[in-house]
Amino acid sequence: MTTLELRNISKSYGSVRAVNDVSLSVPAGCHTAIVGPSGSGKTTLLRLIAGFEAPDAGSLLLSGAPLADGNGTFVPAHKRQVGYLPQDGALFPHLSVAANIAFGIAHEPADVRERRVQELAEMVVLDRAMLARYPHELSGGQQQRVGIARALAQRPKLILLDEPFSALDTGLRAATRKATTELLDAAGVTALLVTHDQAEALSFSDQIAVMRDGRIAQSGPPVDLYLRPRDPITATFLGDAIILAAQLSGDGWSTSVLGSLPVDDSTRLGPASIMLRPEQVTMVGGSAADCSAQGHVLDLEFIGHSCVVTVDVAGTRVQVRCAVGGAPKVGARVSLAVNGPAHVLS
Amino acid sequence: MGVIATPGGGTIPLPPGARHSASLRAAPRWLLLAAIVVTGAMLLPLGFVLWVAVQIGWSEIVTVLVRPRVGELLLNTAMLVSMAVPASVLVGVSLAWLTERTDLPGHTLWSALAAAPLAVPAFVHGYAWVTALPSFHGLVAAVMVSVLAYFPFVYLPVAAALRRLDPAQEDVAASLGLRPMQVLRRVVLPQLRLPVLGGALIIGLHMLAEYGLFALVRFDTFTTAIFDQFQSIFSAPAANMMAGVLVLLCLLLLMLEVSARGGGRYARLGSGSARQAARLRLPPLAKGAAVLVVLAVAILSLGVPLMTLARWLMLGGAEVWDLDAILPVLGQTLALAAAGAILTTMAAMPVAWLSVRGRGAKVRIIEASNYISGALPGIVVALALVTVTIRVARPLYQTAFTVLLAYVILFLPRALIALRASIAQAPPELENVAQSLGRSPFRALTEVTMRLAAPGAAAGAAMVFLAVTTELTATLILAPTGTRTLATTFWSLTTEIEYVRAAPFAFMMIALSLPLTWVLYHQSRRAAGR
């Protein structure tokens, strides 16, 4: 069953088309990430779903009920019951933690409210003593958890997260992201995350939609998108990529500077771009018999957990990774071996 | 007197428009409508001046205005402003530098004393000097008393800016070989340009608007002449036309200030540099001279008014405290001030919200109209409302409604500044979250943003409250018959040379003003982060 359905949504500000003919469906319980560079329209899309803006065209359905269409149907934000967690948590500074969490269930009787607040505090692993505190007395991670509890209080079918982890420092970010994913799973709520951080998108979601210039360039499961991006821009946006000019022979093989490589397309013929992820390429010193190509090292960059080695292979620069211990010297001859098929870009 | 006195330097910078701040289209319609109604009311005085010009016609305007008397008034006003404003800047900047940047003994005390003259209304300064020295009048008296009454408008923002300046810049200048005095001249003083200009503009506008002070020292300015004209020939076209010239003078000052600001950018002053600039150690002789200077300013600006007032109060003894006469006046003043404060703050809310959250030319026009109208003198606002009520709304003439409307027009910018700053601190994201949690846009606005802006609203309301208790010109002209405020009662007693009986009313105005002056002083220090 589909929870959220976007059909041909468009939204312009003046002459700028912020969101251009976007269609997307988000199945119930699924975590979807909308990822794209800043200015790609992802935040506008989120605001359209939340109901802070109305689309110019297209329709938006939640559990089959129309929230907006181009013909005047528009359910405002406060009637949608869609949870919303903005970047910095946006807790109400004048209310205690408990009052923040209970903000969306103010119409419930006091005892129900209190029980629900306790329940949610437990769920987001917030100490009871924290409930009487005020937002400025909490750490960034705690504020984030209160924000989630507040959004979940009204039992939304859908929760929207707008770059919720970007304000946290690096160490805390990964931990909070993992905790949030587990929390949302436990609550069984459908989640839509907007981010410009591809690592965050890949680890958070069951489905990714890459946005560019107001359109969805490609969507699908994270592994699919990572290994089989449609075009070079998506390929490099989702991670480091080696993109090479190649000749396809139509039988699942290609020829390029890295020699003869299997590809994931056995029908296309002629010139094409093929993509490899750096982790598919292994490097050994000297000339090895089982390697498909040789070259010499142009540059070495130490990035902590590994080294990035730039290798000149018959005039083409290829960047590969290697363990810090086994890094060759600049100028050394090396051989490259490729594991798994290369992906043919359209 | 509808001028904005901010301790932080005259203007409050616009917050950078958040990328997704509500657009004008998304602003609730009732809010936009309310803002337009308020702006319409605010534009009444300007509209009145234009209407007068069109109604009377060019040739008639020329015959009335091109007269030696008008030339004399123009010259008087120009001399007054061009002498008193630079003198106030000199006094204000010198005191700020001495109290903030030198090891002047007792600098905290001197700094409080430099802000305190604001608690004494200008016409009470005038009363003190005239009753102490009956022969003190004319241009010299007008300039001197203006400087003493108004220099804190320069002192407060300049002292705040001096505290905020990053001492690292001065360290760098010193490392480049500049002596302390050169650092002051080439690094510190140039950066005081904006607070100095802001303070100078406020003083200039106050002087164009002031009636009581200049009437007491018998120095004719446009405002006093218009007032006399109005009292002798009711709603005379001549008074209206002179009001038009006065408006042009105000606009000229506004434009001068804008052009003097220049296009140069000043680096944003660090919000919290932990280090305080070192105080310059004055040589003993200079230190003695500095103490004499601050002592002289304190004696002239505070000592003289307070001593004179004390003398009149002692002469009067317990008899002048005739509670049957005083209590009704106090009650009426407080009621008018409270009503004025509440109405003005409420009227300012939609405009403040739009100016923070709205975008586009329309919003900027609404905002600018409100500031320009707030720079117009009370006498112009009063004449406009007299004419409008007599011509189109006769039953409203000399009613509480009209005088309250005048207060709204005059003092809205004060409420606006306080409200705008506090609304800007409530992120728009909070309204979004409240809506996602089931609050309608109206309730999100009232439950979250207005709740968070409440301290700012209270501060703005307090400033308006105080401004109303000491407002003289518009109240004299517009108040319903029988309405007597502290200011108008003080004024009528003073003009009847009943100096002793006037003293308790002056005392009450100062007593009411002191807490707010203290708050302003405190805020300007806190704005500096200390």
Q: For residue A306, what are the β-bridge partners?
A: none
Q: pLDDT band for A274, please (50, 70, 90 cuts).
A: very high
For residue B21, the model assigns a pLDDT of 39
Half-sphere exposure of B428 (CA within 13 A, CB side): 18
For residue B6, the model assigns a pLDDT of 42
According to DSSP, residue A9 is labeled: E
Q: Could you give the CA distance from residue B511 to residue B500 in angstroms, rounded to a whole number?
A: 17
- Nearest to residue B352, comparing CAs of B51, B15, B8, B85? B15
Tokens of B111: 């700094």
Q: How many CB atoms lie within 10 A of CB A294?
A: 16
Q: Could you give the CA distance from residue A90 to residue A84 in angstroms, rounded to a whole number?
A: 10
- Residue B186 amino acid letter: R
- Reported as a single tens digit per residue, the pLDDT across B110-159 is 999 999 998 999 999 999 999 998 888 899 999 999 999 999 999 988 98
- A13 contacts in B (CB within 8 Å)? 23
- Reported as a single tens digit per residue, the pLDDT across A46-57 is 999 998 888 999
Are B437 and A86 inside 8 Å of each other by CB?
no
Question: Residue B455 falls within a domain, yes or no?
Answer: yes
- Nearest to residue B412, comparing CAs of B448, B455, B370? B370
Q: Could you give the CA distance from residue A83 to residue B470 in angstroms, rounded to a whole number?
A: 51
Task: Spell out the domain ranges in chain A.
Answer: 2-234, 240-345
Question: Residue B71 falls within a domain, yes or no?
Answer: yes
According to DSSP, residue A342 is labeled: B
- B429 contacts in A (CB within 8 Å)? 86-88, 90
Q: Which distant-in-sequence residues (6+ apart) come within 8 Å of B260 by Cβ? A: B197
Q: Could you give the CA distance from residue A271 to residue A268 in angstroms, rounded to a whole number?
A: 9
Are B432 and A84 inside 8 Å of each other by CB?
yes
Q: For residue A274, what are the β-bridge partners?
A: A244, A344
Q: Are B77 and B249 in contact (CB under 8 A)?
A: yes
Q: Could you give the CA distance from residue A142 to residue B195 in angstroms, rounded to a whole number?
A: 41
For residue B489, the model assigns a pLDDT of 93
Phi, psi for B232 (deg, rounded to 5):
-80, -50
Q: pLDDT band for A78, please (50, 70, 90 cuts).
A: confident
Q: Are B470 and B378 in contact (CB under 8 A)?
A: no
Q: Could you give the CA distance from residue A148 to residue B34 in angstroms, rounded to a whole number?
A: 36
Sheet containing A281-285: give its strands across. Answer: A281-285, A333-338, A293-302, A307-313, A316-322
For residue B117, the model assigns a pLDDT of 92
Q: Could you give the CA distance from residue B224 to residue A233 in angstroms, rounded to a whole number?
A: 73
Total of domains in chain B: 1
Q: Tokens 């001096």 correspond to what residue? A: B162
Question: Residue B182 falls within a domain, yes or no?
Answer: yes
Q: What is the CATH code for A2-234?
A: 3.40.50.300
Residue of B nearest to A160 (CA): B436
For residue A15, the model assigns a pLDDT of 86
Q: Are B45 and B373 in contact (CB under 8 A)?
A: yes
Are A76 and B430 inside 8 Å of each other by CB?
no
Chain A interface, best mutation among B437, B442, B452, by max A CB count within 10 A: B437
For residue B271, the model assigns a pLDDT of 40
We report the CATH number of the domain holding residue B152 as 1.10.3720.10
Tokens of B470: 């000491």
Question: Residue B19 falls within a domain, yes or no?
Answer: no
Architecture of domain A240-345: Beta Barrel (2.40)
Q: Could you give the CA distance from residue A183 to residue A194 in angstroms, rounded to a whole number?
A: 18
Q: Are B350 and B412 in contact (CB under 8 A)?
A: no
Q: For residue B188, what are the β-bridge partners?
A: none
Q: Is pTM, for the whole model, over 0.80?
A: no
Chunked into runs of 10 residues, chain B (530 residues) has average pLDDT values of: 40 36 54 88 89 85 84 93 96 93 91 91 93 90 95 91 77 74 81 87 91 93 89 75 88 85 51 59 90 95 94 87 88 94 92 83 82 85 90 84 93 86 83 90 87 85 88 90 91 90 93 86 64
C-alpha distances (whole Å) from A286 to each of A104, A300, B295 are: 66, 17, 88
Q: For residue A17, what are the β-bridge partners?
A: A12
Q: For residue B145, what are the β-bridge partners?
A: none
- A53 contacts in B (CB within 8 Å)? 26
Three-class DSSP category at B418:
helix
Half-sphere exposure of A186 (CA within 13 A, CB side): 15
B28 touches A: beta carbon within 8 Å: no
Q: How many CB atoms lie within 10 A of CB B173?
A: 18
* Cα of B66 to nearest chain A Cα, Å: 51
Chain B interface, best mutation among A87, A92, A143, by max B CB count within 10 A: A92
Q: Tokens 């969490």 correspond to what residue? A: A101
Q: Could you give the CA distance from residue A134 to residue A97 in angstroms, rounded to a whole number?
A: 6
Residue B209 lies in domain? 29-260+282-526
Question: Residue B246 falls within a domain, yes or no?
Answer: yes
For residue B275, the model assigns a pLDDT of 57
* Helix locations, B375-425, DSSP H: 378-392, 400-424
Question: Residue B18 falls within a domain, yes or no?
Answer: no
- A82 contacts in B (CB within 8 Å)? 436
For residue B187, the model assigns a pLDDT of 80
Q: How many CB atoms lie within 10 A of CB B161?
A: 26
For residue B27, the model assigns a pLDDT of 61
Question: Residue B11 falls within a domain, yes or no?
Answer: no
Helices (H) and strands (E) counted in chain A, each on its own, are 8, 20
CA–CA–CA angle B116, B118, B122 (5° rounding) = 130
Question: Residue B159 falls within a domain, yes or no?
Answer: yes
Q: Are B5 and B413 in contact (CB under 8 A)?
A: no
B434 touches A: beta carbon within 8 Å: yes
Tokens of A136: 């400025």
* Helix/strand/coil (H/E/C) assignment for every residue in B281-309: CCCHHHHHHHHHHHHHHHHHHHHHHHHHH
- B433 contacts in A (CB within 8 Å)? 84, 86, 90, 92, 150
Q: Could you give the CA distance from residue B143 to residue B128 in angstroms, rounded to a whole number?
A: 15
Q: Where are the beta strands (DSSP E) in chain A?
A: 2-13, 16-27, 31-35, 57-62, 65-68, 82-85, 158-162, 190-195, 207-212, 215-220, 242-249, 253-256, 259-262, 269-276, 281-285, 293-302, 307-313, 316-322, 333-338, 343-345
**Averaged pLDDT for residues A126-147:** 89
Q: For residue A313, what are the β-bridge partners?
A: A316
ipTM above 0.90, yes or no: no
Are A81 and B26 inside 8 Å of each other by CB?
no
C-alpha distances (whole Å) from A303 to each of A307, A322, A323, B501 are: 6, 11, 11, 85
- Reported as a single tens digit per residue, the pLDDT across A29-44 is 899 999 998 889 998 9
Q: Does residue A92 come out as left (phi exceeding 0), alpha (psi in the -120 to 50 range) or beta?
A: beta
* Helix/strand/coil (H/E/C) assignment for every residue in B146-205: HHHHHCHHHHHHHHHHHHHCCHHHHHHHHHCCCCHHHHHHHHHHHHHHHHHHHHHHHHHH
Tokens of A14: 């003046």
B436 touches A: beta carbon within 8 Å: yes
For residue B69, the model assigns a pLDDT of 86
Are B430 and A90 inside 8 Å of each other by CB?
yes
